[in-house]
C-alpha cells in the first residue's frame, strides 16, 4: 500500500548499519498511517518516536544525540524544539488512499469502494474503521468519541461550526471564537492535523456525521444559533444554518429571515420557519402576512386564509394589503371569484388591480382600464393576462391567445416563486381549446408543468387541463390515467374540472354506471363553485351528462346563470360558442329537437366570426340533418374532418359514426364508418366492407371486427358500450359474440372469454 518513494525511505532505514547517522521525519495528520509505517521498521538500531508533537522540549532535546532516529508527528502544534531536532532530516509525505488503493485495501465491489472513498476522503484510518460497507453505523461513529473528547474547547467549537457549514467563513469564526484572524487560522490548522478535514477545509462526510452525532445537542444548537445571528447581522444567507434548528423550540428573527430565503424554493418549509420564528407566541402583522403567503404557495389555503384574515382585521398596519392579496388568491382557487375580485380591488396594489380586472371580466363585468404595473416579471405577466382576457371577450381571439402565451412565457423563469390566482398558461389553454388551437394549449401547458409555473397551487390545474385535451381527442384511457395521477383533496376550482373529466370520460365511454355514480359529485361541485367565465367548460360537460341521466332540472339554474353572464359580456363568441356546442349535444341526447335547433341557430350567429365558429356551426347543422335521417356523406365527412382539425377528435368520430348507422345506403355506411375509424386513430378495414352482420370465415379465424368486439368485451365493456364505441348496435355485438362462441366451440361464457383472451393476446 506504500508509494515507491516511501518504500525507498523505509528500505534505507531498515538497511542502515549501527552508527550510521540517519534521521527521518514522518509528518501527516492523524489517521494517515504514521504508526502503521513505523511498525514496518525492523532495524533494532533505529530509535523510533511516535506522536512526537506531544513530547515536551526536554524530551525532544534528549533525542538530539540519537544517530538513527525516525520521528513521526502531526503538523500541529508547531514546536521550535521539534523543528530543531528534525532539521535536515529526510521527510516522508503520507497521503490519503486513492480510490484504487481503497479498492485494494478493502477488496470490495466498485459501489462499496465509491461509497467508502466519498465518506472518508481516503484517510486510511477512517477507511479501516468504516470497512467494506455501504452505510454508516452508529458503532463506526462511536469510534470518533475518544478523538473528539480530548480536543480543546476552541477546536471543538470550530468543528461544530464546520459541521454547520461555516468552516471557510473566517469572519464568522472570528466572532464565534472571539479570536483574531491569525488565531482562527491556527485553530483551523489544528483541525487539519486531526485528519478530519478535506482539502477544501470542510469536514469529511464521515467526520461530519460523527461531530453531529457525538456532540451534545445544546452545544450544536448554541453554535448554530450564534452563527445564524452573526450571519444575519452581516446580511448573509441563514437558511442552511437555521434549518436543523426547526422543532427545537427556539425562535427569533433568524427564523423569519430563513423563511424568506426558503419562500421561493420551498414554501412549505418557509411556512414552518415563519411559525418557528414566533417562538409559540402570536405573530406580528408582518410575520403573519408573510406566513400566509408561504402557506398559500404551499397549497395550505386554510392556514393562508386564517392568517390573512387576522392581518386584514387588524388596524393601522401596512401589511393588510399583502394579506388581502393572499386571501384573494386563495378564494380564487376556492372558486369564489367574485369575493376574490372584491379583495383584489380593496388591496389596490399594482398586481392586485390587474387580477381584479380579470376577476371582474370572469364574473360578467366589463373592465376597460389598464392599471400600470411595476417593471417585473409578475407585473408584465399580470398586465398581459388582463389584456388577453379582455381581448377574449371583445372578439379578438387570435390576439388574446398570443397575448396569454406571451404572458406564460414571461413567467416561466419565476417558476413556483409567484403566488397567482390563475396562471397565464391555464387561461391560454382555455382560450386555445375554445378557438380550435389544441396544439397551442398542449404546448403552453407542457411548458408550465415543466417550469413549475405557479408552484404547488397551480400544478393540479395545469395537469387537469392536460387531461382535458386528451379527453377531447378521444384518448379516454390516457385522460383517465392523467386524472387519477392528480387524485387528492382538490380545491373547488380544480374539483369541478376533475369531476367534469370523470363525467366526460364516462359519457364518451357510454359507462352509465360510472356516470350515475359520479353525478352526485358533479352536482355538489357545481353548488360549491359559482358560475364564472372560466368554468364554462365543465358546465357544458355536466349539461350533456344531465341530459343522459334525465336530471336537467338540477343544472338548469346554473346554466341560466351562465347565459346571463355571457349576455352581460355581450355574448363573446369565444366563450359562448363552446357552451352552445355542449348544450346542442345535451339537447340531442335528450332528443329535444327544439332546443337543439335553438343552439344550432346560436352557433350560426357567429358563423362568420372565426374558423372555429364556422366549423362548429356547420357541424351542428350536419348533426341536425343526421338526427332527422338526412345523411349527406360529403357534408358529414367534411364536418367531421373539420371538427378533427380543431381538436374535437371524439366529436368528429362520433358524428361520422352516428351518420353511418343512420343511413340505409351500404356504400355510404362503409365510407362513413371508415371515416370515423380514421378520426379515432384506428385502422380502416382492408376490405372496406363492414356490415351489421358478423362476417363468417371458413378458416375458423376471427374477423377483424370480431377481434375488435372481443378486445372491448375483454376490457369489461357492456354490449351497449362496445356498440357505442364501434358505431354498431348492442344487438349486433351480441350476434358477434354468439357467432364467436359457435365457431370456437365454447361450452360456456367463461370458456369463450378464456379462448378470446388467448386469441386476442396472441
Where are the chain's structural domains?
4-93, 99-253, 699-762
The span from the CA of 587 to the CA of 458, in Å, is 34
Cβ count within 10 A of residue 435: 25
The CA-atom distances, in angstroms, between 520 and each of 45, 555, 583 are 97, 12, 20
Q: How many helices and strands, by DSSP H and E, does the chain display?
A: 42, 4
β-pair partners for 26: 72, 92
H or E segment to which residue 333 belongs: helix 320-333
Nearest-10 Cα torsion for 260, 261, 264, 269: -80
pLDDT score of 93 = 87
Q: How far apart are the first and last CA of the chain?
A: 61
For domain 699-762, give the CATH number: 1.10.10.10
DSSP H stretches of helix in 150-266: 153-163, 170-177, 181-193, 205-214, 217-233, 239-242, 253-262
pLDDT score of 566 = 96
pLDDT score of 168 = 87
pLDDT score of 684 = 56
pLDDT score of 182 = 92
Query: Starting at the edge strand that comes first in sequence, how are the strands of the sheet with 90-93 ordered?
Result: 47-49, 68-73, 22-27, 90-93
Answering whether pTM is above 0.85, one says no
In the numeric block, which cell numbers belong to residue 601?
341557430
Question: What's the DSSP call for residue 52?
Answer: G
Residues of the chain with pLDDT under 70: 682-701, 761-762
The span from the CA of 654 to the CA of 726, in Å, is 10
Question: What's the DSSP call for residue 98?
Answer: P
Amino acid at each position: 500500500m506504500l508509494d515507491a518513494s516511501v518504500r525507498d525511505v523505509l528500505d534505507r532505514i531498515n538497511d542502515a548499519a549501527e552508527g550510521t547517522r540517519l534521521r527521518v521525519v514522518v509528518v501527516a495528520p492523524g489517521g494517515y498511517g504514521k504508526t502503521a509505517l513505523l511498525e514496518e521498521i525492523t532495524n533494532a538500531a533505529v530509535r523510533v518516536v511516535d506522536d512526537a508533537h506531544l513530547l515536551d522540549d526536554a524530551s525532544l532535546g534528549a533525542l538530539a544525540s540519537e544517530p538513527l532516529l525516525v520521528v513521526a508527528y502531526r503538523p500541529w502544534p508547531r514546536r521550535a524544539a521539534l523543528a530543531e531536532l528534525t532539521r535536515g532530516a529526510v521527510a516522508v509525505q503520507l497521503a490519503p488512499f486513492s480510490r484504487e488503493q481503497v479498492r485494494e485495501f478493502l477488496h470490495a465491489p466498485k459501489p462499496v469502494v465509491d461509497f467508502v472513498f466519498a465518506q472518508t476522503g481516503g484517510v486510511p484510518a477512517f477507511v479501516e474503521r468504516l470497512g467494506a460497507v455501504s452505510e454508516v453505523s452508529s458503532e463506526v461513529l462511536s469510534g470518533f468519541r475518544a478523538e473528539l473528547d480530548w480536543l480543546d474547547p476552541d477546536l471543538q467549537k470550530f468543528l461544530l461550526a464546520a459541521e454547520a457549514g461555516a468552516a471557510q467563513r473566517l469572519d464568522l469564526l472570528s466572532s464565534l471564537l472571539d479570536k483574531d484572524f491569525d488565531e482562527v487560522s491556527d485553530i483551523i490548522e489544528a483541525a487539519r492535523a486531526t485528519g478530519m478535514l478535506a482539502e477544501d477545509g470542510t469536514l469529511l462526510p464521515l467526520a461530519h456525521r460523527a461531530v453531529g452525532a457525538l456532540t451534545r445537542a445544546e452545544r450544536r444548537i448554541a453554535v448554530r444559533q450564534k452563527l445564524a445571528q452573526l450571519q444575519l447581522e452581516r446580511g448573509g444567507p441563514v437558511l442552511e444554518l437555521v434549518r436543523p434548528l426547526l422543532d427545537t423550540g427556539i425562535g427569533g428573527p433568524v427564523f423569519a429571515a430563513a423563511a424568506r430565503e426558503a419562500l421561493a424554493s420551498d414554501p412549505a418549509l418557509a411556512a414552518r420557519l415563519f411559525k418557528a420564528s414566533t417562538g409559540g407566541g402570536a405573530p406580528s402583522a408582518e410575520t403573519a402576512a408573510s406566513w400566509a403567503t408561504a402557506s398559500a404557495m404551499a397549497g395550505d389555503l386554510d392556514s393562508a386564509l386564517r392568517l390573512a384574515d387576522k392581518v386584514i382585521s387588524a388596524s393601522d398596519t401596512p401589511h393588510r394589503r399583502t394579506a388581502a392579496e393572499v386571501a384573494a388568491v386563495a378564494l380564487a382557487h376556492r372558486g369564489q371569484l367574485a369575493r376574490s375580485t372584491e379583495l383584489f380591488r380593496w388591496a389596490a396594489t399594482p398586481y392586485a388591480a390587474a387580477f381584479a380586472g380579470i376577476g371582474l371580466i370572469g364574473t360578467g363585468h366589463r373592465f376597460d382600464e389598464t392599471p400600470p404595473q411595476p417593471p417585473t416579471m409578475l407585473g408584465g405577466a399580470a398586465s398581459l393576462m388582463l389584456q388577453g382576457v379582455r381581448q377574449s371577450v371583445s372578439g379578438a381571439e387570435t390576439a388574446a391567445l398570443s397575448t396569454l402565451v406571451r404572458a406564460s412565457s414571461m413567467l416561466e423563469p419565476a417558476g413556483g416563486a409567484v403566488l397567482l390566482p390563475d396562471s397565464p398558461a391555464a387561461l391560454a389553454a382555455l382560450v386555445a381549446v375554445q378557438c380550435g388551437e389544441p396544439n397551442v394549449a398542449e404546448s403552453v401547458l407542457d411548458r408550465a408543468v415543466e417550469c413549475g409555473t405557479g408552484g404547488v397551487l397551480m400544478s393540479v390545474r395545469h395537469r387537469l387541463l392536460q387531461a382535458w385535451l386528451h379527453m377531447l381527442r378521444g384518448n379516454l384511457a390516457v385522460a383517465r390515467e392523467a386524472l387519477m395521477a392528480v387524485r387528492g383533496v382538490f380545491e373547488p376550482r380544480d374539483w369541478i374540472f376533475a369531476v367534469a373529466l370523470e363525467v366526460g370520460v364516462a359519457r364518451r365511454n357510454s359507462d352509465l354506471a360510472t356516470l350515475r355514480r359520479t353525478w352526485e359529485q358533479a352536482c355538489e361541485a357545481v353548488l360549491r363553485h359559482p358560475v364564472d367565465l372560466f368554468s364554462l367548460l365543465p358546465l357544458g360537460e355536466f349539461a350533456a351528462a344531465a341530459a343522459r341521466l334525465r336530471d336537467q332540472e338540477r343544472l338548469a339554474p346554473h346554466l341560466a346563470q351562465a347565459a346571463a353572464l355571457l349576455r352581460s359580456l355581450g355574448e363573446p363568441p369565444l366563450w359562448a360558442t363552446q357552451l352552445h356546442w355542449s348544450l346542442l349535444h345535451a339537447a340531442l341526447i335528450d332528443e329535444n329537437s327544439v332546443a337543439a335547433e335553438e343552439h344550432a341557430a346560436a352557433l350560426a350567429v357567429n358563423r362568420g366570426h372565426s374558423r372555429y365558429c364556422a366549423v362548429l356551426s356547420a357541424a351542428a347543422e350536419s348533426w341536425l340533418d343526421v338526427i332527422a335521417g338526412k345523411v349527406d356523406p360529403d357534408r358529414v365527412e367534411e364536418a367531421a374532418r373539420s371538427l378533427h382539425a380543431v381538436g374535437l377528435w371524439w366529436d368528429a368520430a362520433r358524428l361520422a359514426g352516428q351518420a353511418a348507422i343512420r343511413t340505409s345506403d351500404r356504400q355510404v355506411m362503409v365510407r362513413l364508418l371508415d371515416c370515423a375509424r380514421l378520426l379515432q386513430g384506428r385502422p380502416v378495414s382492408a376490405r372496406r366492407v363492414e356490415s351489421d352482420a358478423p362476417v363468417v370465415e371458413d378458416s375458423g379465424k376471427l374477423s377483424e371486427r370480431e377481434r375488435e368486439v372481443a378486445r372491448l368485451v375483454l376490457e369489461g365493456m357492456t354490449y351497449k358500450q362496445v356498440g357505442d364505441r364501434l358505431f354498431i348496435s348492442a344487438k349486433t355485438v351480441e350476434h358477434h359474440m354468439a357467432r364467436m362462441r359457435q365457431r370456437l366451440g365454447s361450452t360456456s361464457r367463461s370458456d369463450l372469454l378464456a379462448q378470446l383472451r388467448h386469441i386476442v393476446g396472441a
